[in-house]
Amino acid sequence: MKLKLVLAFSFVVVFCFGQSKKSTTMGKTTIEELKMQRYEKDTTARAIVLYEHGNYYINTKEKFKYKFTTDFYFRIKILKKIGFDKATIKIPFYDEEEVHDIQAVTNNLTENNVMHTTSLEKDKIYTKDLSGKWKETYFTLPNIKVGSVIEFRYSLISPYAQIDDWNYQSDIPKLKSDFTAAIIGNYKYNIRLVGNLKLHRDNFRVKNGCFYLPGIATGACGVLEYGMDAVPAFKKEAYMLSQDNYVSRLSFELISNTDVRGQVTNYTKTWKAADKKLETYFLSGQYLKKRYFKENLSSEASLNSENSLERAKQIYKRVQNHYTWNEKYWLNRKVEVKKAFKNKIGSVFEINLSLYFALQAANIESKLVLLSTRNRAIPTKLYPVISEFNYMVVRAVIDNQVYFLDAVNKYLGFGLIQSESLNGEGRVMDFKNGSFWEQIKLSQKTSKTIRLSLLLKDDSFVGDLSIKRTGYFAVHKRVEFNGLSEDDILEDFENNYPNIEVEDVALENLSDNEKVLKETYKITIETDVMGSRRIRLNPFVIGKITENPFKLNKRDYPVDYGYERSKTYLIKLIIPETYKIAKLPKNMGVALPNKGGKIIFNISQKENTINIYLNYSLKKKSYSADEYFYLKQFYKKLINLQDSFIEIERI
């Protein structure tokens, strides 16, 4: 949601007064708040914010004159012992920013219903260095108990005009949350409300006489008052992108600043300007880099194959095997590709830029693609924010087919990228015609097929188990098997499935990422003997889902798997003639709305042979909040099905 307000005034000023009086002061805790025992709207809450307030303005104190200031105030009720973590406060700040005027108290109720206040001592406030130019001031409030109300405030003084986001939602509920500001007229901002919640206070007015330029004129400012009441906690769950995409908050983007001479500085760039900057980062000395990779690969047949796809696959495999990823992404600077190639170790950008130049040297049409990993917010499409990107892949076009390539992970197949980078659309960097957004389409399907052929013998089932994996299921298993011997694999299997005894294991295509990964086991399965005559068996002996990943009554954000997937069971059970089949599960079919997926379960008996077929698939990589209930039911039915038994008895 984008608020209707874009601030743009004509006054250029150096002093501000009045707004600081709106900052909330200490001493607001009441006896009623101390007596509060739980929050009826969320009885699971370990703590609740009773009130929080951020107030932004230009500081008029002599020590901080001309600097941007935000006064923060928080009052939090501790409802459960597991909520004691809310008594540890961490305040990050950047470079020339400063934290001042920290005040903090813990309020408790005595046996006589009297408020007892314990103040934080100044020598219990600490500051430490974080990464880069970031630092952190932190402290823990004293005398914390279940029922305590903590109250603290501080001021963040900054020389930077960018206003930090104000988060209405967090991991605990809030009774009331307010953000107020007085913004001087020579700064222009885009203000957006992110998330699904609506404001309860949405006020903007122009305040005359808010600023003055000594000896010249007075001016107005924009006064903002935005607030929410009864804000629910944001609850994380499986298969979600970064919560930064969904948490309700105010977001401020600095557009421009006008100085005293009327000169305008624009902070929000166009994609045309961003493309030019990124071209300098990535393609500086492009001709020399292409020649470097051509010379280093010229002795290999990969550059000389007439088949473009085969040529591209060989180059991809060469770069993939050449590098070891150093677990780094992008440091927002020029990338030293030749140095990284020589050292055989590199970041995401160094490895995939090497792949790009190698493909270019082999005359394969290719472009760079910028992405953001799933632990970060999806990059905004309104305007370029280069710092939002931290991942790069290569887009190759071969015989009119588009492939997205990523050489960072040695176990990725051609046409797959790291699953952690499947986070919305990618920005294709076409430096000649202008960059554009494109959906990432994968060239391999992700599937798992489990085939069981078992014979009942002496109250145990013996036979063969084979597992075939493609796509990301194969990638993840190859990573898991890396460095393990067959004995290690056998031991891990038996630890995971203690009711299965394994005699032998065979692996196929473990080192060939382009082929189906296959495991074959000779197994013996212990059965569940019911008295002297009846035996029962759960046929889904491995890989079944035992817990529903979806537990919320309502989910306000999408379910995002990253990629489509399918799993299939093919099971054959042979029963001796001395037994008869007493009970079989029922056939079942389930379909998700909008062709989103399905469960197909068929079981049949022919003489003493039982054949079982189960396939369940998720046909979309993302499901809306409206589809959440159906997904939840989908898993419930699948779990119940996979928990069913076959029963046989002696004749």
Structure tokens at 317: 């495999």
For residues 556 and 621, membership in a common domain is answered with yes
**pLDDT on residue 173:** 98
Q: 100-109, 333-342, 448-457: lowest mean pLDDT where? A: 333-342
Lowest-pLDDT range of 13-17, 97-101, 361-365, 417-421: 13-17
Helix H or strand E segment including 365: strand 365-371
Predicted local confidence at residue 66, as pLDDT: 63
pLDDT at residue 37 in the model:
95
CA–CA dist 253, 162 (Å, integer): 7
> What amino acid occupies position 479?
V
- The dihedrals phi and psi of 237, each to the nearest 5 degrees, come to -155, 170
616 pLDDT band, cuts 50/70/90, is: very high
- pLDDT bin (cut points 50, 70, 90) of residue 331 is low
What would the mean pLDDT of 133-138 be, rounded to a whole number?
96
**Confidence at residue 253, expressed as pLDDT on a 0 to 100 scale:** 87
Q: Can you give the CATH number for the domain in which 595 is found?
A: 2.60.120.1130
Both structure tokens of 374 = 């799933």
SS (H, E, C) 240-307: CCCHHHCCCEEEEEEEEEECCCCCEEECCCCHHHHHHHHHHHHHCCHHHHHHHHHHHHCCCHHHCCCC
Q: Mark whether 247 and 310 lie in a shared domain.
A: no
pLDDT grade, residue 374 (50/70/90)? very high
Asked if the model's pLDDT at residue 471 lies above 60, the reply is yes
Cα–Cα distances in angstroms (integers) from residue 310 to residues 353, 399, 416, 444, 512, in the given order: 20, 11, 16, 16, 15
**Do 22 and 133 have their domain in common?**
yes
Quick: pLDDT tens for 429-440: 999 999 999 999
User: What's the pLDDT score for residue 288?
Assistant: 65
- Indicate whether 186 and 77 sit together in one domain: yes
Q: Based on the domain organization, do 64 and 196 belong to the same domain?
A: yes
Domain boundary among 209, 241, 266: 266
pLDDT for 332: 63
- Find all residues with CB under 8 Å of 278, minimum gap 6, and list them: 370, 386, 429, 431
* 461 and 432 in a common domain: no
What range defines the domain where residue 495 resides? 447-650
What mean pLDDT do residues 278-297 have? Answer: 74
For residues 338 and 487, give the distance between their C-alpha atoms in angstroms, rounded to a whole number: 41
* Residue 105: pLDDT band with limits 50, 70, 90: very high
The residue ranking higher by pLDDT, 285 or 3, is 285
Domain boundary among 438, 455, 488: 438
Q: Are residues 425 and 409 in the same domain?
A: yes
441-464 burial, b if ≥16 CB within 10 A, otherwise e? ebebebbbbbebebebeeebbbbe
Identify whether residues 247 and 209 lie together within a single domain.
Answer: yes
Question: What is the residue-averaged pLDDT of the chain?
Answer: 90
Residues 267 and 387 sit within 8 Å (Cβ to Cβ): no
Task: Specify the pairing of strand 646-650 against strand 534-537.
Answer: antiparallel
Task: Please name every residue paired with 93 in a beta bridge, in sequence order, or none if there are none.
Answer: 135
Q: Which residues of 382-406 are buried (b: 16+ CB within 10 A; e: fewer)?
A: eebeeeebbbbbbbbebeeeebbbb
pLDDT in the model for residue 174: 98
pLDDT at position 264 over 70: yes
pLDDT confidence band for 219 (50 / 70 / 90) = low
d(CA 388, CA 380): 8
pLDDT band at 265 (very low <50, low <70, confident <90, very high): confident
pLDDT tens track for 7-50? 444 334 444 446 677 899 999 999 999 999 999 999 999 999 99
CATH number of the domain bearing residue 140: 2.60.40.3140
Rg (the chain; Cα; Å)? 31
352: left (phi over 0), alpha (psi -120 to 50) or beta: alpha
- Among 266, 284, 319, the domain boundary falls at 266
Q: Supply the pLDDT for residue 1.
A: 40
Please check the confidence at residue 475 and state whether its pLDDT lies above 90: yes
How many CB atoms within 10 Å of residue 277? 12
Can you tell me the distance from the alpha carbon of 451 to that of 463, in angstroms, rounded to the nearest whole number? 11
Q: State the pLDDT at residue 10.
A: 38
Looking at the fold, whether 481 and 560 belong to one and the same domain comes out as: yes
pLDDT category of residue 266 using cuts at 50, 70 and 90:
confident
- Domain count along the chain: 3
Neighbours of 337 (CB within 10 A): 24
DSSP-derived 3-state class of residue 502: strand
CA neighbor of 169 nearest in space, from 558, 627, 556, 626: 556
Q: What are phi and psi of 451, to 5 degrees?
A: -120, 125
Residue 615 CA from chain centroid, whole number: 29
Do 259 and 275 belong together in one domain? no
Q: What is the pLDDT of residue 14?
A: 47
Q: Domain check: are 403 and 422 in the same one?
A: yes
pLDDT score of 405: 98
Residues 313 and 402 in one domain: yes
Closest by Cα among 378, 410, 418, 417 to 395: 417
Residue 445: per-residue pLDDT: 96
**505-545 confidence digits (pLDDT tens):** 999 999 999 999 999 999 999 877 655 678 888 999 999 99
Where residue 289 sits, what CATH number does that domain have?
A: 3.10.620.30
**Residue 607 pLDDT grade (very low, low, confident, very high; cuts 50, 70, 90):** confident
Mean pLDDT score, 280-288: 73
